[in-house]
Structures are given as structure tokens and as C-alpha cells.
Chain A
């Protein structure tokens, strides 16, 4: 029998192979799927689902999409593949459109299933439900900002395969109705949500009120300024809000803002932790430990599986941890719009009477301005991560000719010299060389000063602030101004301005629309808000009128809300080389428009509200098109 052992073994193997019936054999349990039952009996699993909904919160500007924070010519994009953005003349009607009803449906399903769940503790359940309603309202707010009034779907629906789907067709609500929904939801959930200024990444009372004040302010300004552009409206008010509603919205905006300012939603305040006001403004965005200003954020965690690469993309190229960086180059116009410390506007003094002004130090030309400038922009002569930036474009010789290079930190021999010397900064600027400071500047806001933040393998966990106390103050100021309370407005503005080191407070008489607009421009730049300010004030088609900007025009009308923004300009530092001359070794500055900038952006009336695509209209003929498209 010995020789049969092998065969017996074989037979056993076969018997094992067929010991299960077919269905048992084919049923393989999934390794990462949970049933609805498993989810809604376990609070931590519910939080997983809710967390996924939080993760899909829609932001207009995102840290993981750097360009979205620096659009509309507030900065130049120093990346070769993005140059075409400065060569075209505007945007397609579909730009910025969103229509993610799949997300809405998932929130509705969450609300319904969570509501039905019997094994969840009541207090947890009500908080979960309120948070989901906050997320749903946030998404409708984002949709109404971009699309105008949209169908308001508040329950999950199902197609019955009957062959007739018309019962699922819902028309667009009016623009006002969606804003009303956002505001009423905020009101409804604000007292269910925790009053906790330390909880930043989940919905709180503060977050609900901050959403409410912003939404009401937007609605109010659309009602008021929409009157200046009657062509941007639809007869059914799916786009456009009657002017008569403005005051009501402004009142709600002011009330909600004041509820936060008064402290009723928690201990929120302006961030004021560092003696150096520029450093303080910079730290406001990266300091997560002690930050009373942030109200609602998208949080990240190094070593926790969620990071972003904003610093890697944007930190100064010289000394960067990877061969990356330098992408966002803030424009000259943006830099010079920061006031002098006495509250007056002035261009950067690079010339007097057609002659260059020579500065001893490369950063001197930027001195004496609003502290937020150095907190928002990396200027020549400053440092990042303790390393000095090396931004200078070349050497100007006595005869006015320029010696420069086309690679970073290039060396050449100067006329009359023997040794090679560096003729251009390691950060550029070099026209057309990506990742160098082609405008003369890099962005500082949202950059992470921690070691490793610019490494691909580590990245940054600086959070993205969606709502902050500073904006609430400015919302209150704007609402108060529009409600005819300039003194109240001045009070709120001065809080923000004092933190920026501006020495002369505004009086009620100083407050006009340009002041309101300017303060938002410099305070909230690169936070994804500027574009919607232009839209709701109906200024976008004026500021972005399709005309190129002349060099003379750059330095004019600083601080005016209607100043043209169709092209970003640059200002480049040069070293003066003229041995024996008193100015030898000093710095001078030249204003220029980069060679890659050949287009001038034009914002059309049809851009005010994004196009509702033909495919969406085919699917639901009840949708009306947006105007001017």
C-alpha cells in the first residue's frame, strides 16, 4: 500500500477542494466593506461616514490645489504649464460650476439612516444630525454662489425603473430661497451644535453663525448691487435677488456676526500672540495650538495620513527641500495696495522724476507698510524657514545695461572683472523660468515653517481656515456700513487694522465702499473669498474688463475697488555695479510685465453664474439656463 500514499494524499486534496458546495466556495467575504447595520450601531463608524462627508466639503480655494487660491491675477503662476492662463482672455461659461447631487444624496441618506438608528445615544445622534445639516447647507451655499438658485433636494429619492422619471424633475429654486435655506438651517442647528471655540474641524455654533453671516452678507449685496447689472438676472429670480430684500439680509448678517463677536458662540478673538505684527499675521494661519481666531477649518495631520503639499509647491525655490517651489508669485499691484502705516496709499517708490531710487538694502523699498504685507508675501530681503530668500534679477552697470543669467544663481564675469560673480538670485527672478519669483515675490500666507513641510514624503499639516474671526469682523463692518451705521463699521474695521499696525484709526466719515472692499482685499487675500466679493458687488466685469494694463496705470488709483486687475505686474530688484560711484552696491527696482503675459482677462456677464450644462438640462428639462450664455 505504501506506493499508494501519494495517491491517497492527492485524493484527499481533491476531496478538500470539493468539500464546500459551489456557493460556499464562491462566497468570499469582502475585507473593507461594512453593512449599513454595522455602521449605524457604532458611533465611531458613524463618525467615519460623517468624516468622509466632511472630507468632501466644497471649497472654492484649496491648499491641495494651490492655483485655486491665487487666481484672478492677484498673483502670477510661476509654472510653465500654467502660463496659458495669462495668454487667454477669460473664462468659459462652465468655469467654477459644481452640481454634485451625489454628495447631497449621501448627506440625505446619512440624515435618514442616522434618524432611524435606534442604538445610538440621543445626544450623539442629535449632534451627528446637526453636523450633517451643516454640511448640506454649506454645499447649497457653495452651489448658490456659483450656480444661482438650484433644486433644493432634502430627501433621498429613488428611481422606480417605471420608464418615466418626470416625477424626479425638480425646478430651480430662486437664488434667495437657497440663501434663505442656508440661513434658516444655520439658525436651526446653531444651538444643537456645541458651543466650543476649541473644536475647529467639526461644526460648532460658531461655524453655523459664521456661515450665516457670510451667506446673509452675500445675499444682501447681490440684492443691492445686482441692481447695477439688471442683465445678470432671470425672470423667475433663479438668478438675482430683489433689491428690496437687501436690508433684511444685511440685518441678519450683522446680527449673526455680532453673535460671534459678543462671545455667545465661544471665546473667539483676533489672533494676537506675537510681538512682531507681520509674524503674528503669518502665524495666524499656521499656529494651531493657541488660535482663538479660527472658527471652522479643514485640518491635516502629519503622521496621521492627511497632509498637503502647499508649502512644497510654493516655498522659495532656493533652499527648498525638493526641487520644487515658488509657484505663487503675488503681483506688484497686490503688494503696493497695502497702505503705509499712517493709512495712506502710495506706490512703491522705485523712481523719482524718471530717475531710479537707490536703496541700501534690498528690502528697504517695502518698509513702513501695513504689517499684513510681510505676513502675506515673501518680500526680497526677508527669510523663510530662517533662510534668506535670494530674489534679485541682475546687475545694472554704469551705462544702464544689465548683466543677468537664465538659470538660478548663474555666475558670469563682469566687464573689467576677472572672477566669475553671481549675476542673478537663486530665486530669480528670471522671465519665463518657472519656480523663480517672476513677479519679484513669493506667497507667505499658508506656508508651513516646519522642517519637512516641503518634503514630498512628509508634507505639511497647516490647516485651511474656512471661517475666521477676522472675516466675521469685516462682515459685520460691511453689513453695518450698508445699513447706514458707518461708525459701527469703523469700529470693526479698526480692530482688524490695529492688528495690522496701522496707526491712524478710521472714523465713521472715512468709511466708504472702497474702504470696505480694500480691507477685505488685503486681509482675506489668498483665502478663496476675493472672487466672490467681486461677483456679489458686480465688479468682476469692471475689474476684469479685458483691457491690458499699461505700466503707467499700475501705480495709479491704488485702493480703489474698481482698479483694473486683468494682468499681474512685476517689480524686480537689481544690484547697481559702478565701482567708485556712491550708489555702487545699492539696489534699484524696475517695473515690468512678464513676456509670457500676453492676454488680458475679460469677465463676461455670462461668467457671473456658471453654466448649467446641456447634459443636466437634457436630464431635467425644468432647469432654466443661466443668463447671458
Chain B
């Protein structure tokens, strides 16, 4: 098999050379010409595809809708154009065939990009959803493509926990894991996908089921296929300008007390609650209340740090068009997004996209696609790995009586004792800088040859893709002084700061080569049997070189790094290689019964040579009931169900991302396992690699999908519904029926023995209609997907409790365990008489308002045995996702409203959102609603109930908080529905356009994320935030104004 495939591949390569010299056959044909126009407005239609049925012989209409084609006298011509019904007309010896095409609302003949090819929508037998440029255009949700996909695609789950400039959203297909991205035929990662200019995307197809198997190697979690825009043959040159400018503000963020008096009174109350005494005297409190003396004033840190209406701006200029031989699309985009932290925190991206296709002869077509970008993330150099962390942390850390500048003199950074959170430091002047630039270029060269004669229907295609990405990161955190003002001597004394300079640079280059050879064969036998076959060979290789060095420079000034100051250097060089052989076969009978079979043999460098290969077959069938004669006869001509298709698919997909290193199969020693200093000399360590892993291979992912597509009421309603079940077998696990003494020194290697499943359903429904000049489209989708662990290999449990607690067998994944809070103590008396030891200290640390945990096992104590399931996953995708979109247009005015939501995940209050004064810092305002004594200073005064337990000072250890252990009081199962795009646009009418010489001019105002309905608003937390301390950079609310011009 191997050698046959190899030979075949080589022959395809040779064929590529052979094409160059091959000649096409001449044949006796009729020359037919005509004009194509639109039925509704009788305007000529340029770019309509005219094909001789059953062949690849075709042309396109020109600017005026005219075409000329040669065809046998008995041929049938197929006219197709996006948005119109495809028509088939027999030639019958005519030499002139004019045609008016009618709109096709259902767009059944719309072409959908699938694995390595494209198909008409009606013939699709797999679960594939698409979203087109039109759906994406009005979304201005940030800088990345993924951030705009909320609720857009049925079955694609969405969560955007972080909204900083350049941020991306987490998207998954059916919650199956990180999907594979394929951009213009080349497998890429999420980073490439996110940084395409959204305006350059023609369509995004999401392969959700076994149809992804054709991408084999990394397709087990589904595939996102992106196609960029191309020019159309025989169309006029058009220049499009799309630009918008907007302002961003945080959707939500925790609020803190910014009044020194309130802060200090609450701290005194916390001290009194916990220790019965406080150092804070009434005289002092009075000074805080007056707030006039130095040291007693109030300062609003959030207001100091957060800027309003941070700008987001984008300009896209593109031009496209084509002659009968050449078509092109060239585009440039600039995008700049600033953070609410100010202009020094920003993300900027410049993209170019250039897609050219040329028909050298009727049969030979070549193309080149170039996409490139420069991506710059720039901000002040701030201590810590994430430069955006401390500014946010500062809001919850800095107390209101602390001030940024000594004696309020902006020349002197104030020593507040924790100066890293002093925002006055977080700028390029004092703090330093960090600039990360990615320069990326991808170029695809392709050649395609259509055979004629005996090989009519056969097309061979070759593609070579070269990709280079270059990263340069420069960072420098400066040394700085922080001052204390000495009022007596009017002096500023340096009492704090950092003398640690941190200068780093990363140089990284990623190079990729992809080679594809492809042969397709398409033929109709008679009128009934339509056959299509595809064979493809793909080789991919990647090399990633990464150097990082760090120095301790003498000064903050010099930009270069010097050997004498370098203290750290890291070097990495890693390669990857994958090979795939793909075969696909499609058959349909009278476009009524469909069958698709495909298989892919994949090999990955990651596994031991004997385990490298995997074979991944899949198949699907479809039945268009509405094409049956008996249906037509029963339903009649005007059936309200105009299209109904049942389809099913099954396939095996592979995943080589199984959590092992690339060379785990090789015995030997890892070099560079640390440095040891022996006799004063640093020596690079080397360590035995240990038990090799040469028995592990692909995860196998078996996806079953049953679905249906339907069209009702003459295309006004379209819908689809899918049920799916993905069983993954061969997950890594251990065989625990043989226990190996730990004294052996190594464990049994993992084997491919465990299994899990992901199942769910999804549906989409759309309605569109027009009432005179009023157009309306309403569409929605909803999906549910949740994972379950199926079984491990003969699991062992020490006892039934351990089985209850630790077993995963047959259980849903991501169950959160914790204590069950059954109430709050209402009085000291209740505490004194309570039979269960809640705090492990005889309840002596408890006060009214403190949490009562359920003693599940009734042993009178609260410990690990009292935990039970209390929540869903957190930090992961929602199990339930839904989206709703409304579009209206009346004459020149258009309106869009999109909503999306999610449910079936959890968020827990922890750290700053769980206990007051975390880090001895600011007071989160949610704790103002706490249990407290009427007079905090009087231990005998009555208790006033509140939502939260009585205040303590930074008492994470208290039983209410249990050091951050989960409990149902702090766990929230989230459901949200939020407004995404809301846009109002106005297009200038034609007469005015003609006067000013434009084809299109549209102006709009647009809002994104303007409001949300959810159950986290009371904590000041965005519903998609993951961080339990609430400190994540949340999504923004956007308000934009924009313009679309076509010249």
C-alpha cells in the first residue's frame, strides 16, 4: 500500500510537469452566445458561470452579461450565479440563448466550501455551517476574527473571557476542543485565523462532524475552513472603502470603596468583629471623615487608572475585478485598538491580502495568494509576566487614602509600600516598555489543469505554500525610585522602588512548507448518475526557532543589549512533519440520493515509527425527500415544504495532540535539564528520559451525526437540526489491574485505553421575507453539548466513598465539588447551640451571618467528606449556546440586532470577590452589604443582617471562605443573554450616488455588547470572565461610527 501510494504521489507530481507540455484536443462544437440578466430588475448579470453540463468546460458572462461558449449541439448549459436559481437549458442546436435568472432566496445552490473542495448546499450530507462576509461585516467586537463569532454559527460555542486590545475569543465546535483551522487550503493555528483581516474573509465553513475527517491529522475537534475573497472574472474594477471609528469602555469591573472614611470604618469594624479591638481610634476616623489633613484624604484610583472611550479604529481598502483571463482581489487593512488604560497600551495590525488567478489557457489556471501582516502589541513594561495585570490589580489593591505622587507632586512617585501597583509607575517614562511584533507572510502558489478528451472531467491541481512568521519581542522594565515626602524639611526621600532592571528580547521564526497534489474527477453518466472523486496528497513541515535572552543593563537608557550584562539565554529549535493521503468519493442519483465516502491515511512525526500511521474513514448519506416523484405528486407544485433532506454521517477522526512530547518514543537523555554548579563551574544537566512511550498512537474520535435540512414556504423559512455523538477511544490512561511497586522507580506507561464522549444537538432556523420595500430576516440558533467520561481501564477504588468522590466512570466531565451552604447563622445563640463544628475550632470564630455548611456524613465536622457536586465547569465553554439575529431594511435604511448567550457553566467568587480586604487592599463594594452590629464598637448591640458574612480583615483562612475551597454560597451557575451588534445604517439613494460618482455609500452607527442580562452583574463581573478574583480585563462595550464606500 505504502509503495503504491508513494508511486501514485510521484506520478501526480510528474503529471504536473506533463501538463505543461500537454495539448488540448480540438473537437466539433457549436458556438453559442447570449445574454444573461436578472428577472427582477432586468439588469445584466456579469460573472454568471455558464458550464456545459457534465464537463468542466465553462465561461463567465462579461460586464454586460454577454457570453460565448462552444458546446456540442445536444449539450445542456448550466447557468449558475450566487443568489440566483441555477438553470439548465438544453442547446438543441441553438446558437443564441438568452436567459433571465430568478432570485433564489433559499440559496440552495449556494456553494459551500468543504474539505478540499466546494459543493452545492443541496448536496451537502454532512453537518456543515457557514457564515459569510455579510454576517461578519457589521461586527466590531475587537481586533480578532473569533471575537466576532458570538452566536453566529450553530454549534460553534463562544466565550470571550478577556477583552484587551488584540484579544481573541475561545471558540470551539460542539465543545469538542480546539478546532483545526484551514485558511485557503492550508492548515493553520488559531493565531493565524484570528489575525486575518475580517474584511478579507469571503466565508467561514465549520465542519462539525465526520466531514472533518478528510483533514485527518488534527481534525478530531472539527475544522474551521476559511476562504478569502477573490475577484470575479469579467467584472468591473471596484474599490471598496470600509472604515469605522469607535469608543470602548469596560462592560463591567468590580467596584471598590473610594472614600477613606468608609474604608477605615469598615476596617475598624472588621478588626472588632475578629479580634474585639482595633487600633483605629475615633479621633482618627474623624480625621478621615473630614478628609482635609495629608494622609487622611480620599483618592479614586479607578478613576485615575481607567480612561473613558478608548479608541478602536479600522480602515480597509480593497479593489477587485477581473477580465476573462485574470481576476484579482487586493486589499489592505489597518486596525488600531487602544486599551482603557490609555494610549500607551495598544494593539495595531496591518494586513495585506492579494489573490490573483489567471487562466493561461482554457485548461490551465494558475493562482497566487499572498497574505501578510504586521501585528504590534505595545505597552509600558510592567513587572510580572502580564503587563496588563498590575494596572487592574491596582484598582483592587490600592486603598483610598493612598496617593500616587508624594506630596501630590507629579515629579515624585509616591512610596505607597506596594509600589508595583502604583499606577503612576505604569507608563513608558518611569516603568519601561514592552513591544511585541509579529511579521507574517503566507504565499500559496497553485496550478490547475483541466483535462479534455478521454479524460474529460479530470482535473489535477498542485499547490505549494510557504509561510514565515517572525517575532521580535523587546521589553525593558526600568529601575525606579519611590519617594516619601518629609514635610518638616520639605524634602523628598527615596524610600522605595526597584533597582532591578529586566531587559529581554525574543527572536522567533516559524517556517512552514505545505505541498499538495490533487486530482479530481467529475462526471455524470446519463442524467441520473453523478460521480465525483478526489485524491489528494499533502505534506506539511514546520520549523520553529526561538531564542530568548535577558540582561541586567546598567542604565534605563540604552536600547541595545550587551554580552557582559546578559544573564539568561534560551534556545529552542523544533520541527514537525505530517503526511496525509486522502481519497473522497461522491455519488448521487438524480440529485436525490447522495453518498459520500472518504478516507485519509495520516502519519505524524510525533509517534514511534511503528505507530505513526492512522487511517480515518468516514461516510455520509443524504436523501432529499422533496425530490421524490411521489412527494411531488402528493404535495403538488406549490408545496409548502419545498426542500427536505435527511442526512447521516459517521466517521473516524484522528488527533495527534495526545499530550506527549514529540520524541517520547526515543530512549536516551534529555539535555539541558537545569544547571548545576560543580567546583564553581556551571554545568548543563542531562537526565535519562525514563520509560519511553512507544506504544501510544492517535486518539480515535468517532463522530455520528444525524441531521435534516428543510426549506418551507418558498424559501422564506430555512432550517436545520442535528444530533451528534462523538465517542473518543484510545485516550491515554493506565492499566491499573496490575499494580507495580512504586519502588520500581517508574510507572507503567500510559496506553490508549480510556474513552469519553461528547454529545448534544443543535438547530438553526431563519425566516426572511419582504413586504414591499421592507425586508426582514430573523434567524436564530441554539446548541447543547456536554462531555462525559465513558470508562477507564478497570478502575480501582479503595472504598465506596473514594469511588463516589474520585470516579469519573460514566459521569459528566467538569463537575465542581464543594460544600453545600444551607444558610447563615442568625444569632450568637444559634451558633452556641449548633451541633456541627463548622470552623474546626468549636465554632468559636463564628459570628451571626457566617455560613452554615451541610454536614453530609453527619460526623459533626466539616471536612472533605462533606463535599458534593455544586457546579459545572468553569473557565471553559458554555454547554448551552444560542444566538439570535434580526435584520431589517427599508429603502436606504437598514437595522441589525444580534444577540447571543450561553449557559451551563459556573463562575466562583474567590479572592477579592470572596473576602474583604484581600491582600490588605481596597474594599470591594459588594461587602458593604455584610452582616454588622448596629454599633460596631459595642459587642452587645444587635446584629443587622446583610448578604455577606460579617467583615473580617483579609481573613481567607476563616471558615466562611475556607481558603478558597468551593462552596455553594460562592458558586454561581451562569446564564446570560447579551446584545451583540446593534447597528443602524443609511445608504445614499442611487440618483445621488450617480451624481457623486459612487456605486455605494453607506453610513452607520453601531454598538456592540451594549447590555447583558445575566446573574453576575451584582458582583460587577462580566458573565464571560473566567478569573475568579474578577480581575480579568473584561470585554468592552463598543460604540462605533462607520462608512462603506464603493467606487
The answer to whether B670 and A33 touch across the interface, beta carbons within 8 angstroms, is yes
Out of B420, B685, B744, name the residue touching A105 (CB < 8 Å).
B744
Chain A 1-49 interface residues, beta-carbon cutoff 8 Å to B: 3-4, 6-11, 13-18, 21-23, 25-36, 38-39, 45, 47-49
The answer to whether A157 and B668 touch across the interface, beta carbons within 8 angstroms, is no
Chain A 52-91 interface residues, beta-carbon cutoff 8 Å to B: 52, 54-55, 80-81, 83-84, 87
Cα distance A292–B16 when bound, in Å? 77
The answer to whether A33 and B680 touch across the interface, beta carbons within 8 angstroms, is no
Minimum Cβ distance to chain B for residue A76 (Å): 15
Is residue A367 within 8 Å, beta carbon to beta carbon, of the partner chain?
A: no
Chain B 453-507 interface residues, beta-carbon cutoff 8 Å to A: 462, 464, 484, 487-488, 495-496, 498-502
Chain B 2-14, CB-CB to A under 8 Å as 1, else 0, gives 1000100110110
Chain B 661-697, CB-CB to A under 8 Å as 1, else 0, gives 0110011111111111111111111111110000000
Chain B 951-975 interface residues, beta-carbon cutoff 8 Å to A: 953-954, 956-957, 963
Minimum Cβ distance to chain B for residue A288 (Å): 8
Cα distance A106–B673 when bound, in Å? 14
Chain B 499-525 interface residues, beta-carbon cutoff 8 Å to A: 499-502, 513, 515, 517
Is residue B767 within 8 Å, beta carbon to beta carbon, of the partner chain?
A: no
Cα distance A100–B744 when bound, in Å? 10
The answer to whether A619 and B9 touch across the interface, beta carbons within 8 angstroms, is no
Minimum Cβ distance to chain B for residue A93 (Å): 15
Chain B 593-617, CB-CB to A under 8 Å as 1, else 0, gives 0000000000111000100100000
Out of A17, A304, A323, name the residue touching B515 (CB < 8 Å).
A17
**Interface-lining segment among A231-239, A294-302, A538-546, A556-564:** A294-302
Is residue B411 within 8 Å, beta carbon to beta carbon, of the partner chain?
A: no
The answer to whether B742 and A22 touch across the interface, beta carbons within 8 angstroms, is no
Is residue A187 within 8 Å, beta carbon to beta carbon, of the partner chain?
A: no
For B684, list chain A residues within 8 Å (CB): 48, 51
For A35, list chain B residues within 8 Å (CB): 667-669
Is residue A433 within 8 Å, beta carbon to beta carbon, of the partner chain?
A: yes
Chain A 417-456 interface residues, beta-carbon cutoff 8 Å to B: 419-421, 426, 432-434, 452, 455-456
Minimum Cβ distance to chain B for residue A622 (Å): 8
A-B contact count (CB 8 A): 305
Residue of A nearest to B462 (CB): A14
The answer to whether B20 and A11 touch across the interface, beta carbons within 8 angstroms, is yes
Is residue A412 within 8 Å, beta carbon to beta carbon, of the partner chain?
A: yes
For B43, list chain A residues within 8 Å (CB): none
Is residue B992 within 8 Å, beta carbon to beta carbon, of the partner chain?
A: no
The answer to whether B567 and A18 touch across the interface, beta carbons within 8 angstroms, is no
Chain A 96-110, CB-CB to B under 8 Å as 1, else 0, gives 000101111110111
Chain A 158-201, CB-CB to B under 8 Å as 1, else 0, gives 01000111001110000000000000000000000000000111
Cα distance A165–B488 when bound, in Å? 79
The answer to whether A32 and B682 touch across the interface, beta carbons within 8 angstroms, is no
Is residue B364 within 8 Å, beta carbon to beta carbon, of the partner chain?
A: yes
The answer to whether A25 and B577 touch across the interface, beta carbons within 8 angstroms, is yes
Given known A-B contacts A52-B676, A457-B502, A619 and B739 have beta carbons under 8 A apart = yes
The answer to whether B678 and A321 touch across the interface, beta carbons within 8 angstroms, is no
Residue of A nearest to B500 (CB): A455
The answer to whether B680 and A48 touch across the interface, beta carbons within 8 angstroms, is no
Minimum Cβ distance to chain B for residue A230 (Å): 29
Chain B 274-327 interface residues, beta-carbon cutoff 8 Å to A: 275, 279-280, 293-295
For B500, list chain A residues within 8 Å (CB): 321-322, 452, 455-458
The answer to whether A32 and B953 touch across the interface, beta carbons within 8 angstroms, is no
For B573, list chain A residues within 8 Å (CB): 31
Out of B16, B19, B537, B738, name the residue touching A165 (CB < 8 Å).
B738
Residue of B nearest to A202 (CB): B678
Chain B 726-750 interface residues, beta-carbon cutoff 8 Å to A: 738-746, 748
Residue of B nearest to A83 (CB): B957
Minimum Cβ distance to chain A for residue B276 (Å): 10
Out of B568, B669, B953, name the residue touching A34 (CB < 8 Å).
B669
**Interface-lining segment among A353-361, A400-408, A524-532:** A400-408
Given known A-B contacts A33-B689, A321-B499, A151 and B683 have beta carbons under 8 A apart = no
The answer to whether A23 and B688 touch across the interface, beta carbons within 8 angstroms, is no
Is residue A126 within 8 Å, beta carbon to beta carbon, of the partner chain?
A: no
Is residue B17 within 8 Å, beta carbon to beta carbon, of the partner chain?
A: yes
Out of A10, A26, A39, A83, name the residue touching B462 (CB < 8 Å).
A10
Is residue B352 within 8 Å, beta carbon to beta carbon, of the partner chain?
A: no
Chain A 284-312, CB-CB to B under 8 Å as 1, else 0, gives 00000000000000011111111000000
Count residues on chain B whose CB falls below 8 Å from chain A CBs: 110
Is residue B652 within 8 Å, beta carbon to beta carbon, of the partner chain?
A: no
For A306, list chain B residues within 8 Å (CB): 674-677, 682
The answer to whether B954 and A80 touch across the interface, beta carbons within 8 angstroms, is yes
Out of A17, A87, A109, A201, name the residue touching B678 (CB < 8 Å).
A201
Is residue B572 within 8 Å, beta carbon to beta carbon, of the partner chain?
A: yes
Chain B 778-807, CB-CB to A under 8 Å as 1, else 0, gives 000000000000000000101000000000
Is residue B539 within 8 Å, beta carbon to beta carbon, of the partner chain?
A: yes
For A51, list chain B residues within 8 Å (CB): 676, 678, 683-686
Cα distance A406–B743 when bound, in Å? 53
Given known A-B contacts A26-B579, A51-B685, A102 and B919 have beta carbons under 8 A apart = no
Cα distance A34–B501 when bound, in Å? 36
The answer to whether A33 and B678 touch across the interface, beta carbons within 8 angstroms, is no
Is residue A392 within 8 Å, beta carbon to beta carbon, of the partner chain?
A: no
The answer to whether B687 and A49 touch across the interface, beta carbons within 8 angstroms, is yes
Count residues on chain A whose CB falls below 8 Å from chain B CBs: 112
Is residue B541 within 8 Å, beta carbon to beta carbon, of the partner chain?
A: yes
Is residue B75 within 8 Å, beta carbon to beta carbon, of the partner chain?
A: no
The answer to whether A201 and B677 touch across the interface, beta carbons within 8 angstroms, is yes
The answer to whether B686 and A168 touch across the interface, beta carbons within 8 angstroms, is no
Interface centre among A21, A305, A616, A619 (most CB of B within 10 A): A305
The answer to whether B17 and A8 touch across the interface, beta carbons within 8 angstroms, is yes
The answer to whether A426 and B495 touch across the interface, beta carbons within 8 angstroms, is yes
Given known A-B contacts A52-B676, A323-B420, A32 and B740 have beta carbons under 8 A apart = no
Is residue B445 within 8 Å, beta carbon to beta carbon, of the partner chain?
A: yes
Chain B 749-774, CB-CB to A under 8 Å as 1, else 0, gives 00000000000000000000000000
Given known A-B contacts A101-B745, A301-B682, A22 and B6 have beta carbons under 8 A apart = yes
Residue of B nearest to A55 (CB): B676
The answer to whether A36 and B740 touch across the interface, beta carbons within 8 angstroms, is no
Minimum Cβ distance to chain B for residue A566 (Å): 16
Given known A-B contacts A7-B19, A27-B605, A22 and B579 have beta carbons under 8 A apart = yes
Is residue A614 within 8 Å, beta carbon to beta carbon, of the partner chain?
A: yes
For B420, list chain A residues within 8 Å (CB): 323
The answer to whether A47 and B447 touch across the interface, beta carbons within 8 angstroms, is no
For B857, list chain A residues within 8 Å (CB): none
Is residue B574 within 8 Å, beta carbon to beta carbon, of the partner chain?
A: yes
For B604, list chain A residues within 8 Å (CB): 26
Cα distance A11–B573 when bound, in Å? 30
Is residue A413 within 8 Å, beta carbon to beta carbon, of the partner chain?
A: yes
Given known A-B contacts A34-B669, A456-B500, A47 and B464 have beta carbons under 8 A apart = no
Residue of B nearest to A612 (CB): B742
Given known A-B contacts A409-B495, A618-B798, A299 and B574 have beta carbons under 8 A apart = no
For B576, list chain A residues within 8 Å (CB): 28
Residue of A nearest to B496 (CB): A323
The answer to whether B745 and A300 touch across the interface, beta carbons within 8 angstroms, is no
The answer to whether A52 and B677 touch across the interface, beta carbons within 8 angstroms, is no
Residues of A within 8 A of B (CB): 3-4, 6-11, 13-18, 21-23, 25-36, 38-39, 45, 47-49, 51-52, 54-55, 80-81, 83-84, 87, 99, 101-106, 108-110, 151, 153, 156-157, 159, 163-165, 168-170, 199-202, 299-306, 318-319, 321-323, 404, 406-413, 419-421, 426, 432-434, 452, 455-458, 461, 595, 598, 614-616, 618-620
Q: A11-B447, A26-B579, A322-B498 are in contact. List 5 more A-B contacts (CB 8 A).
A: A4-B360, A26-B578, A452-B499, A461-B677, A619-B741
- Give the top 7 A-B pairs by smallest Cβ distance, nearest first: A105-B745, A17-B515, A304-B682, A52-B685, A455-B500, A51-B676, A305-B675
7 contacts across the A-B interface (CB closer than 8 A): A13-B515, A17-B513, A22-B603, A409-B495, A419-B488, A457-B501, A461-B677
